[in-house]
Structure 1
Amino acid sequence: MKDVIRRIGEITLQLARVVEKALWEAPDFRALEVAVVRGAQEAARQLLVTALEALDRQLMEQRDRRQLKCVNQQPRSLITWVGEIQWERRYYQERPSGARRFLLDEVLGLAPRQRYSPLVQEFGIQLCTQVPFAAAADWLERVSCGAVRLSAMALWADVQAAGARADEAAKAQREAVFERGEIPPGSRPAAAVDLEFDELLVRGRRRGPDGQKERIALMHALAYEGKATDARGRTVLKNRRVHVAVGEGTASIEEALAAFAAEWDWARVEQCTVGGDGAPWIRKALEYLPQASYRLDPFHLKRAMRRGLQHDAEAHRQLAAALAEGKPWREVETILDAARRRARGEARDRVQELKQYLKNHWDGIVADANARRLGAIEAENYHVLARRMKRRGAAWSERGARHLARLLAARANGELDRYARPVWQRRQAPPVAPTPQGRLFGQRLSRSDVEDVAQWLRVRIPALYGPHADREWVKALRHLAGLSVA
């Protein structure tokens, strides 16, 4: 313990010298800031190594010598938020099995081939959900003043690993609900829940028979308890939840419903509205929710009307008024037939397509003023997925798109840390003697220990009582020579 305190004193003195030198030599504030930050990073690296070596020594002293034999010491390096650190930790052999292990790695949760710290990895994954991998690597280096230098491929590999964990969790949740019949107890009661589904196409890497790059379909599901107005007058979704899967169909619908079942107590949900663009796969959700009704997404309805009647403004006005007033299908059909008779060529075909579209989804077109308003999925598409996966010019493999999309959904739900933090299923560390909490390495310094350390500081750092004793940094260091055991 004395060695640890002495080492801390040395590191503090080195940092004080760096700051004093920067004060005299820095030409401007930027240079001063960089010098102080890098000096603090160097001090932090040395403190981390000191702490690791002290903890490793404590584990060696407290191990069961009958079960664990210390073989040797082996080096290890790790890129931390303050830069790369290198230290040596002890290598043990179990008796009588002969298995070998690093107790320090197990106690700290460091995986065998982990190259950088959990904090760096977690922040890197979070950054990759907002900017491309190369930009994330550049930002990590910039915000750390050059201390963290990772390649774009290293970040890509971390995102893939975290996305794979999220993907496995989503699939396991679906299997538990729809294959084994394990209904999760929803934690949130709600009288009404709205569901919206949509498909987002992103560019794939593979090329189709026509030479064009294929498109990968992402199924985006959105659930919320209605809309509200916040203090700034903005419309927000109440208790929003997001789920994203690759590909449309029954499996994707079941994944989304299983995820939402873990959030809400569906036995107490009295009203459910399912919204979509009219794709047949979206209506499959109605088969699982007997209390649900279908609504055609207003964005797609208006887009279909503009496309079908772009040549006939009067027909467009009449149709919009008829739908707003809740007119029956006969009157809507009359308006469309009249518009079709006035049209020619491709315009006539577009009117016919619009008529068929409205007829197929007439049950989802509701003009009731008391009906629940939907239409939030398009904006969510951009904020959750498209802003990262479509507007950067990237091309994706199906696996890469699935993994990143899972993380984007987790980020929207505020659960990204669950998958971004690396988890190593380590073996149980050997039992050690219980130590009081809140003390450095579990030990309390005696008064004689403190006096020995203080005397060492006076001899090792004469500046504490020399001609520079009135300087601020010396006054700060003098506290180390006046430690208290209270």
Structure 2
Amino acid sequence: MITMLNEEGLTFKEIEEKIFRMVCEWGQSFARDFLEKYDEFLMKNRDKEAYRNKGLRETTIKTVFGEVNYSRRVYETIRDDGLKEFVYLLDEQLHIPGVGLISQNLADQLVAGITEMSYRETATKVTEMTGQRISAMGVWKVIQTLGEKVCEEEANLVKAHKAGNVQGDIITPVLFEETDGVYVNLQREKQDMAEIKVGIAYDGWKQTGKDRFALDEKVVVAGFSKAKEFQAYREAAIAEKYNTDEIEVRLVNADGAEWIKNLSDADTVFQLDPFHRNKAIRDYVPYKEAIQEIHELLDEKDIAGLFEHLETYKNSLSDDAEIEKAEKLITYFANNRQGLLSYQDQGILLPESPKGLTYRNMGTMENHIWSTIARRMKHNHTCWSYRGGNHLAKILAKKCSGRLDEVSAKLKSPRFERGQTETIQHEILSAGTVPQKIGKGYRYPVSGHLTKLDNSSGITHQICLAMVGCCN
């Protein structure tokens, strides 16, 4: 403090930076002392017959206040199936990720940042706003690791759904669904662009203010995938939240792409997305009067009259390019004839909406395409690999669903048997070098279940904290 006060021309910005560094250094020191004392407490209170102490091992965890280097004990134990396993009781008790990984708080910062900024910008912001220095490649590695875990979770959900083991708790008589795709640029791939499929489902609209409404209980899915794969995960994600057995009517709003219509069941009500329908009219008809007449026929729900008018309009043209455009519009409307009118104008009778919800016009997909995918992945001159783009698309879908916190929560401590530990390497964020051998020559980058320190033992988390002198 005296040193800072003696500096000439000192600004509050500089004071703030110096204090921040001091606090981060104190946090690193306190965290190290706490972890090592807690580990000592666990050692003294463990079941000594079940857990054989094999010595200390150093490791590093990346936190929001910087790197914390500490030592904790590894134990040898025998599982119920008779196999030998090596565990860190400290890691299991405090849910610390595997060696060389990062804390969940820091992961939260990286995941939230990458949904808004580039990898380089995220690395810069996190470095500036926390005590942890991280590179753009470090951020990329974390996101790819978490993205892989999201994909694994999706695959497991699809399997469970196909086996009939997935059923959500939300009961709704009507399910609204909207599906579309957005093309993004690729790098180092055989093709220049690829489509990210996006789907949302919700049970209605909830009023959030005067003339303001928000979709209720949204389910958002996205990613590079084939139509059947996309459909399988979309249905599984819907079933995870909603009790699909109780749904009486399903309404789908889409742009009319063939792959989207093929996803719908025969009894699903299809509606051509109003934005795409009206855009097609503007793109293919250059005359304002003709456009107005088309909209009037749609407003009058006169579909037969609409097609008669389009044929008459086409026959009145002499320019080949205009005739070709008129034919394209007629074909597009013919392929989507059943959905040219909104679900309300189709005469669909819907059951009464659940309390607190209302039913409104569908057509939010274009906005969701922008806010979910396009704003981050399309309109800022970025290019993607299939793998990296797919991972980010799925994380963005989690954010739009209000489930972004689930992504960083996937940092779980891995469990390995003795034979598997030889091939395990943790390279994320370039963690500090750790001893290669302990005890009798085995590696122990492992965590196991803390079977002897659960609630049945009477040792609670607060008691543990008190034992190491960190609370009253």
Question: Structure 1 pair 22/203, CA: closer, same or farther in 2 (3 Å)?
Answer: same
Q: Residue in 2 aligned with 1:37? A: 20
Q: Residue in 1 aligned with 2:377? A: 389
Question: Structure 1 pair 344/45, CA: closer, same or farther in 2 (3 Å)?
Answer: same
For 1:102 and 1:388, the matched residues in 2 are separated by 40
Aligned letter for 1:438?
Answer: Q
For 2:206 and 2:262, the matched residues in 1 are separated by 28
Question: Structure 1 pair 24/418, CA: closer, same or farther in 2 (3 Å)?
Answer: same
For 2:279 and 2:142, the matched residues in 1 are separated by 40
Q: Residue in 1 aligned with 2:251? A: 273
Q: Residue in 2 aligned with 1:427? A: 448
**Partner-residue secondary structure (3-state), 2:180:** strand
Shift of 1:115: 3.8
Equivalent residues of 1:340, 1:352 under 8 A apart: no
Q: Residue in 2 aligned with 1:165? A: 149
Equivalent residues of 1:196, 1:223 under 8 A apart: yes
Shift of 1:169: 2.0
Give deviations 1:25-47, integer Å, cap 9, x for gaps.
58232222222222222221111
Aligned letter for 1:242?
Answer: V
State the structure with bigger RCO (CA 8 A, min sep 6), 1 or 2: 2
Residue 350 of structure 1 pairs with residue 329 of structure 2: no
Q: Residue in 1 aligned with 2:279? A: 303
For 2:468 and 2:394, the matched residues in 1 are separated by 47
Question: Structure 1 pair 70/410, CA: closer, same or farther in 2 (3 Å)?
Answer: same
For 1:162 and 1:247, the matched residues in 2 are separated by 19
Shift of 1:423: 0.9
Question: Structure 1 pair 322/99, CA: closer, same or farther in 2 (3 Å)?
Answer: closer
**Partner-residue secondary structure (3-state), 2:319:** coil
Question: Structure 1 pair 340/100, CA: closer, same or farther in 2 (3 Å)?
Answer: same
Residue 261 of structure 1 pairs with residue 239 of structure 2: yes
Shift of 1:137: 0.5
Residue 137 of structure 1 pairs with residue 126 of structure 2: no
Give deviations 1:105-143, integer Å, cap 9, x for gaps.
333333443243232123212221221111110010111
For 1:153 and 1:385, the matched residues in 2 are separated by 22
Aligned letter for 1:441?
Answer: L
For 1:342 and 1:189, the matched residues in 2 are separated by 53
Give deviations 1:404-447, integer Å, cap 9, x for gaps.
111111111122222212012431236256446635634398xx
Root-mean-square deviation (CA, aligned residues, Å) is 2.8
For 1:55 and 1:36, the matched residues in 2 are separated by 28
Residue 116 of structure 1 pairs with residue 140 of structure 2: no
Shift of 1:98: 7.6
Give deviations 1:300-319, integer Å, cap 9, x for gaps.
11111011102x22211111
| Counterpart pick for 1:126 among 109, 112, 115 | 112
For 2:31 and 2:72, the matched residues in 1 are separated by 13
For 1:164 and 1:338, the matched residues in 2 are separated by 53
Shift of 1:353: 0.9
For 2:280 and 2:274, the matched residues in 1 are separated by 10
For 2:166 and 2:460, the matched residues in 1 are separated by 40
Shift of 1:93: 4.7
Question: Structure 1 pair 22/360, CA: closer, same or farther in 2 (3 Å)?
Answer: same
TM-score relative to the length of structure 2: 0.81
Q: What is the 5 A alignment of 1:41-440?
A: 41-93=24-76, 100-144=86-130, 147-178=131-162, 180=163, 182=164, 184-208=166-190, 213-287=191-265, 290=267, 292-310=268-286, 312-366=287-341, 368-369=344-345, 373-421=361-409, 422-425=411-414, 426-429=447-450, 431-432=452-453, 434-435=458-459, 438-439=462-463
Equivalent residues of 2:41, 2:467 under 8 A apart: no
For 2:220 and 2:271, the matched residues in 1 are separated by 19
User: Which has the larger share of helix?
Assistant: 1
Shift of 1:69: 4.4
For 2:30 and 2:189, the matched residues in 1 are separated by 53
For 2:210 and 2:405, the matched residues in 1 are separated by 29
Question: Structure 1 pair 391/27, CA: closer, same or farther in 2 (3 Å)?
Answer: same
Question: Structure 1 pair 331/120, CA: closer, same or farther in 2 (3 Å)?
Answer: closer
Give deviations 1:71-128, integer Å, cap 9, x for gaps.
4433222222111222223344558988654433333333443243232123212221
Shift of 1:380: 0.1
For 1:68 and 1:437, the matched residues in 2 are separated by 20
Give deviations 1:381-419, integer Å, cap 9, x for gaps.
010111111123222121222211111111111222222
Aligned letter for 1:362?
Answer: R
Question: Structure 1 pair 189/150, CA: closer, same or farther in 2 (3 Å)?
Answer: same
For 1:406 and 1:266, the matched residues in 2 are separated by 23
For 2:452 and 2:309, the matched residues in 1 are separated by 83
Greater CA deviation, 340-349 or 134-143?
340-349
Shift of 1:68: 4.3
| Equivalences, count | 419
For 1:444 and 1:169, the matched residues in 2 are separated by 37
Aligned letter for 1:348?
Answer: I
For 1:380 and 1:122, the matched residues in 2 are separated by 23
**Structure exhibiting the larger radius of gyration computed from Cα positions:** 1
Question: Structure 1 pair 222/51, CA: closer, same or farther in 2 (3 Å)?
Answer: same
Give deviations 1:172-194, integer Å, cap 9, x for gaps.
2223333x3x0532311112211
Equivalent residues of 1:202, 1:215 under 8 A apart: yes
Shift of 1:22: 4.1
Q: Residue in 2 aligned with 1:14? A: none
For 2:247 and 2:281, the matched residues in 1 are separated by 34
Question: Structure 1 pair 122/66, CA: closer, same or farther in 2 (3 Å)?
Answer: same
For 2:83 and 2:317, the matched residues in 1 are separated by 89
For 2:292 and 2:85, the matched residues in 1 are separated by 79
* Runs of 5+ unmatched residues, structure 2: 349-359, 415-446
Equivalent residues of 1:253, 1:284 under 8 A apart: no
